[in-house]
Amino acid sequence: MKKTVLTLIAAMALLAASCAKQDRTAGSVSFSLEEGAVAEVLTKGSVSDYASLPSAADFSLTVKNSLGATIYNGLLGAWNADAPLAAGNYSAVVKYGDPSAEGPGKPCFEGSVNFGVLGGQTTAVKVTVNLANCIVKIECTDAFKHYFPQRSFVITTPESASGFTYSDKAIFVAYQWTVTGTLKTQTGDDYTLPERSFKGDAATCYTVKYDVSNVGGVTITISFNDNVETVKLGDIELNS
């Protein structure tokens, strides 16, 4: 009987040691996202001003260990925050959207973070996500709209050669775009705007602005960042 009790105590001690070891070598991780600075360089604001923010569950999540081995690659919404994860150092990358899929309402977000896991603990990891493509808007002054009541602008990119017809909705592009346009004056005359190409940076909103003056002949100004270009249209008849 004494031997049996000693054997049971030894088994319980081994089980407790095993559990303690497991607690020291495994933990768990929960992830959350926060929006970083969006369109901060030229226009301060939130990406929600231009497109609907995606749900955190729809982001892709890739988790790698310190050796670079991928231990998870799937949707953030499918990540099991209760699953045991060996103690150690990890990296996580979250993404939403495809930078090559450009157009209205197609933002692309990315974020990454390094984190550590402690045995027996749940680590809360917050990933800051930023807009990975840039936003393009076209604005026309009231004078421009008055002189050219009918106008159409097309934005093309290296990825989208067929282009997007601008309709007062921001266009999300990778980094480079070209604007062309056609105008119809008050008297019905047609004019084709010269093609202009631009480059930008991620997480930035850019506005290409068109204005017009009929002093000494019709002149269009194209403003982008701090640059203003003047285009002479010649003697086009415009009503005041």
- Per residue in 1-24, pLDDT (tens digit) is 433 332 322 333 333 344 444 445
User: Which ranges in the chain are annotated with CATH 2.60.40?
Assistant: 27-131, 134-234
Residue 11 pLDDT: 32
pLDDT band at 60 (very low <50, low <70, confident <90, very high): very high
User: What's the rounded mean pLDDT across residues 50-67?
Assistant: 88
Query: Do residues 212 and 148 touch, judged by C-beta distance below 8 A?
Result: yes
Task: Return the percentage of the chain with pLDDT > 90, whole number.
Answer: 43
Residue 65's φ and ψ, nearest 5 degrees, are -85, -175
Three-state DSSP at 47 gives: helix
Tell me the C-alpha to C-alpha distance, in Å, between residue 227 and each of 95, 179, 198, 221.
34, 15, 11, 10
Residue of 173 and 240 predicted with greater confidence: 173
- Per residue in 143-152, pLDDT (tens digit) is 899 889 999 9
Residue 238 pLDDT: 53
- Per residue in 98-130, pLDDT (tens digit) is 877 899 988 899 999 999 999 999 999 999 888
CA dist 104 and 122 (Å) reads 40
Domain 27-131 bears CATH identifier 2.60.40: yes
Three-state DSSP at 139 gives: strand
CA dist 114 and 95 (Å) reads 15
Residue 7's φ and ψ, nearest 5 degrees, are -65, -40
Matching residue, tokens 């202009």: 196
pLDDT band at 70 (very low <50, low <70, confident <90, very high): very high
From the list 56, 68, 67, the residue with the least C-alpha distance to 94 is 56
Residue 19 pLDDT: 42
- Helix (H) or strand (E) segment spanning residue 22: helix 2-25
Tell me the C-alpha to C-alpha distance, in Å, between residue 82 and each of 41, 131, 136, 233.
40, 30, 42, 67
Relative to beta strand 205-213, strand 134-140 is parallel
Residue 215 pLDDT: 53
Q: Which CATH number fits domain 134-234: 1.25.40, 1.10.3470, 2.60.40, 3.40.50?
A: 2.60.40
Residue 21's φ and ψ, nearest 5 degrees, are -65, -40
CA dist 108 and 131 (Å) reads 6
CA dist 124 and 99 (Å) reads 29
CA dist 40 and 161 (Å) reads 28
From the list 27, 100, 116, 98, the residue with the least C-alpha distance to 59 is 98
